[in-house]
Structure 1
Amino acid sequence: MRPRIGYKKLAAVGVAAVVGVASTIALTSGSASAAPVFGYSGYSFGTSVEAGIVGSDPTVVSQFSCTTKPGASDKNTLATANVNKQAIAQTVSTNTYSFNDARGNGVTSNATAADIKVGNLLHLVGAKTTTTSVYKNGQLSYSGSTTFAAVKIGGVNVQSLLKPSTNYKVAVPGLGYIVLNRVGGVKTSAGQYSYSTAVVIHANVKNQYIPEGVDVAVLKTRAEITKPATAMVIGDAFGSYAHVDKLVKAGKTAYQATCQGTEGKTVRNATGEVVIPKVAYVGAVYTTKNGYAGPEKSAINFTSHIAGVKVGTLQVGAIESSASAWKTKDGKVGLNHSSSVASIKVGNKTYKVETGPNSTLDIPGVAKLTFNQVVRQSRYVSVNALVIDVYSLNTKVVLGHSAAGVIG
């Protein structure tokens, strides 16, 4: 089981379970081999709020954000997945893994639940959803599907929905409507990603279970495969992450990663304010990514932006970071990074913001602050604008993370 926190506002984002100043991306980014490499990425969620204001982040998360190694995997289980303090899904399992075998090079993500229930309005039994993206013999393909053992709407069995057609919309009296078996795939110049969701609940009617105007995805999966390339662009960004001792307390906010780049377009991901119970308040967060892989040059840039943070008596102003990496066809590699913290205050006292790499500030009885925390390798750079070690809570809060690199 992975603990969760409540978001006051939440965009549906991919989140990982590790913080990694030198993340799993870094572990695969040092190869100088000219042989083509594949990029694998995937996730599975138990539940995820996609719109509206409600206290729930993605639950039962299995995910790896980017790797070049087939055989990568993650899995997770949870007895009950809650949304808005309601037990939406029971006995949830998720897993995602990469492969290179007779099927080709690809990623498969799966999610199951014994029950998905919204009071007496909706009851889905034995839900299973899966998606796969594959590259084989120079071709990209994907598949996705959802099945149920039983479907009840308002207590009435609906046998025709056990194997619903793609993106099948059904009205649910007293709740709104649902979309079953939401499946699709998107091809880009660099590769492909596919997705499948067992059910998306659109609560557009006032009810006692899910706030009106909220959309909830249950059993949501994604699988991504990148075409072979001589230089793959990689990296990630998030606003905040926190843990107490060895227990994860808050996943990565506004998380973004890449195995494909963005075809030169800027992609923005944002969340509203986040409350980490008894630990911190994090203001509005957004991250950006922009990258491409071309015959002359491959490049990637990530940025992270936070409006402000409060950790106990400690108040932190706006936080920003960026990381970029590029490689040209003649083998030249470049890396850049930056970070900034607007201000540090405890009560009425203001402290100097240090700017050098891995600079520290100790505030007795409050916290140790590390500014501009940098890990740099030959083809990868990672920066955390600020890391706060809270003495009284034995807690670490990582803020303003950006990382970028190239493989190949």
Structure 2
Amino acid sequence: MRPRIGYKKLAAVGVAAVVGVASTIALTSGSASAAPVFGYSGYAFGTDVKTGIANSGPQVVSQISCTTDSSRADKNDLATANVNDQAIARTVTTDTHAFNDARGNGVTSNATAADIKLGSLLSLTGAKTTTTAWYKNGNLYYTGSTTFASVKIGNLSVPNLLKAKPNTKVAIPGLGYIVLNRVGGVKTSSGIYSYAQAVVLHATVKNQYIPEGVDVAVLKTRAEITKPAIAMVIGDAYGTKANVDKLVTSGPTSYQATCQGTEGKTIRNAVAEVVIPKVAYVGAVYTTKYGVVGADKASVNFTSHVAGVKVGNLSIGAIESSASAWKTKDGKIGLASDSKVVSVTVGKKVYTVPNKPNQTLEIPGIAKLTFNQVLRQSRYISVNALVIDVYSLNTKVVVGHSAAGVVG
């Protein structure tokens, strides 16, 4: 098992700036007559909390991220998926896989759980959700559905909800309400994505299982396929992520990714604040993504913005990062990244923030800080504005992550 789980104007892509993209830009030439490619992307989560609370990241994750490989697949399993230290879903399995066969080119994502339970308030057994998106003969299609073996609300069995109609809302006394079989699909100029969620728990009153005001999606799937294009765009952005060794203790916040761009629109994802248990308090977080995919050009830009971070006596000011990638019809490829950390203080002591990539700063007895951590490959670039290694907790916190690339 393995839980794991965005601008200065660029002449090549015409993206309006939120964070200046100022670092190295490299252009490489490729074939001007490269064959069009398909992009496959999808995921399946056991649980996903939709607000910035402890343990807020996706759990039991299977994911393929914008690949042109039609044989790509991933799967995962975990005995229990927890939210707020409560066992919400048990015996969870997830898988997502691409295909290119008689059905066409597409992606299917599945998630199952032996049971989903909130004490005596709600019991759902034999839950399965699935979604598929595919392209065939110039057309785009999708399906999505959820089924249950049994549904029990309080002490009452409700057999007519075993195959609930899409987006069925049900009141749950002592919790708020749930939405069963949340499904849908969105067709764009460059492709289609579909989604399905077995159940979304909405806590609107105080209860012992989920903090009031929090929404939890259980068994969440997504499948995405692009039309043939000059290249696929990849990348992601998030505000924070924390782990001890290889164990994720707080998943990506305000996470965004893409495979088919955004039709030239900037999409924003935000949370008010994040608390990483026993490690850090993080202020407001938001990320943006922008991308286009077509026969003549493919481009993508991600940004990440964090209001500030506190780790004990260590206070860090606003943190930002951005990453961009593009490919044009003549085969030229460009990459760019940038990041900024406003300030670092411990008590009344102010530290100078390095302004070059991959620079470190030791805060004796507290943490090691790495600024503008850049990873660059021929068609992909990622940047972490700040990485905090907390000595006493053996914990690494990544703050302000953006990444972008092109495939094909």
| Corresponding residue number in structure 2 for 1:385 | 385
Following the alignment from structure 2 to structure 1, what is the Cα–Cα distance between the partners of residues 231 and 64? 20
| Pair 46,139 (structure 1): closer, same or farther in 2 beyond 3 Å | same
- Quote the offset at 1:213 in angstroms: 4.1
Q: Does 1:373 align with 2:379?
A: no
Following the alignment from structure 1 to structure 2, what is the Cα–Cα distance between the partners of residues 243 and 254? 17
Deviations 1:195-254 (A, max 9, x none): 111122334455554445443322111111111211222221111222222322222221
Following the alignment from structure 1 to structure 2, what is the Cα–Cα distance between the partners of residues 315 and 149? 50
| Pair 167,316 (structure 1): closer, same or farther in 2 beyond 3 Å | same
Counting only pairs closer than 5 Å after superposition, residues 279-358 of structure 1 correspond to structure 2 as 279-358=279-358
| Corresponding residue number in structure 1 for 2:130 | 130
Matched letter for residue 238 of structure 2? F
Deviations 1:77-105 (A, max 9, x none): 23233334433222222222222233222
Deviations 1:30-70 (A, max 9, x none): 99561222222212222223469787443322223332222
Counting only pairs closer than 5 Å after superposition, residues 149-298 of structure 1 correspond to structure 2 as 149-204=149-204, 207-298=207-298
Deviations 1:266-324 (A, max 9, x none): 10011232222233222221110111124443321111111111234432111111111
Q: SS of 2:160's equivalent? A: helix
Following the alignment from structure 1 to structure 2, what is the Cα–Cα distance between the partners of residues 312 and 174? 36
Q: SS of 2:218's equivalent? A: strand
Seq. identity, %: 75
Q: SS of 2:355's equivalent? A: coil
Matched letter for residue 64 of structure 2? F
| Pair 234,50 (structure 1): closer, same or farther in 2 beyond 3 Å | same
Deviations 1:122-164 (A, max 9, x none): 2211111111111222221111111111122232222222222
Following the alignment from structure 1 to structure 2, what is the Cα–Cα distance between the partners of residues 296 and 231? 9
Following the alignment from structure 1 to structure 2, what is the Cα–Cα distance between the partners of residues 31 and 103? 35
| Pair 59,123 (structure 1): closer, same or farther in 2 beyond 3 Å | same
Matched letter for residue 290 of structure 1? Y
| Pair 176,248 (structure 1): closer, same or farther in 2 beyond 3 Å | closer
| Corresponding residue number in structure 2 for 1:398 | 398
Answer yes or no: is the 8 Å Cα contact 1:112–1:127 preserved in 2.
yes
Answer yes or no: is the 8 Å Cα contact 1:315–1:346 preserved in 2.
yes
Q: SS of 1:261's equivalent? A: coil
Following the alignment from structure 1 to structure 2, what is the Cα–Cα distance between the partners of residues 365 and 52? 28
Answer yes or no: is the 8 Å Cα contact 1:112–1:128 preserved in 2.
yes
Answer yes or no: is the 8 Å Cα contact 1:70–1:98 preserved in 2.
yes
Answer yes or no: is the 8 Å Cα contact 1:72–1:98 preserved in 2.
yes
Deviations 1:340-366 (A, max 9, x none): 111112232211111112222233443
Following the alignment from structure 2 to structure 1, what is the Cα–Cα distance between the partners of residues 164 and 329? 48
| Corresponding residue number in structure 2 for 1:67 | 67
Q: Unaligned regions of 5+ residues in structure 1, if any?
A: 4-15, 18-29
| Pair 139,274 (structure 1): closer, same or farther in 2 beyond 3 Å | same
Matched letter for residue 192 of structure 1? I
Q: If the length of structure 1 is used for normalisation, what is the TM-score?
A: 0.86
Matched letter for residue 230 of structure 2? T
- Quote the offset at 1:189 in angstroms: 0.7
The 10-residue stretch of structure 1 (219-228 or 149-158) with the greater mean CA deviation from structure 2: 149-158
Answer yes or no: is the 8 Å Cα contact 1:238–1:401 preserved in 2.
yes
- Quote the offset at 1:265 in angstroms: 0.5
Give the paired residue count.
Answer: 384
Q: Unaligned regions of 5+ residues in structure 2, if any?
A: 6-27
The 10-residue stretch of structure 1 (384-393 or 280-289) with the greater mean CA deviation from structure 2: 384-393
Following the alignment from structure 1 to structure 2, what is the Cα–Cα distance between the partners of residues 384 and 104? 38
Answer yes or no: is the 8 Å Cα contact 2:29–2:331 preserved in 1.
no
Q: SS of 1:229's equivalent? A: coil
The 10-residue stretch of structure 1 (76-85 or 232-241) with the greater mean CA deviation from structure 2: 76-85
Answer yes or no: is the 8 Å Cα contact 2:52–2:274 preserved in 1.
no
| Pair 330,183 (structure 1): closer, same or farther in 2 beyond 3 Å | same
| Pair 127,226 (structure 1): closer, same or farther in 2 beyond 3 Å | same
Following the alignment from structure 1 to structure 2, what is the Cα–Cα distance between the partners of residues 209 and 383? 37
- Quote the offset at 1:263 in angstroms: 0.5
Answer yes or no: is the 8 Å Cα contact 2:54–2:250 preserved in 1.
no
Q: SS of 2:353's equivalent? A: coil
- Quote the offset at 1:383 in angstroms: 1.5
Structure 1 vs Structure 2 CA RMSD: 2.5
Matched letter for residue 115 of structure 1? D
| Pair 207,361 (structure 1): closer, same or farther in 2 beyond 3 Å | closer
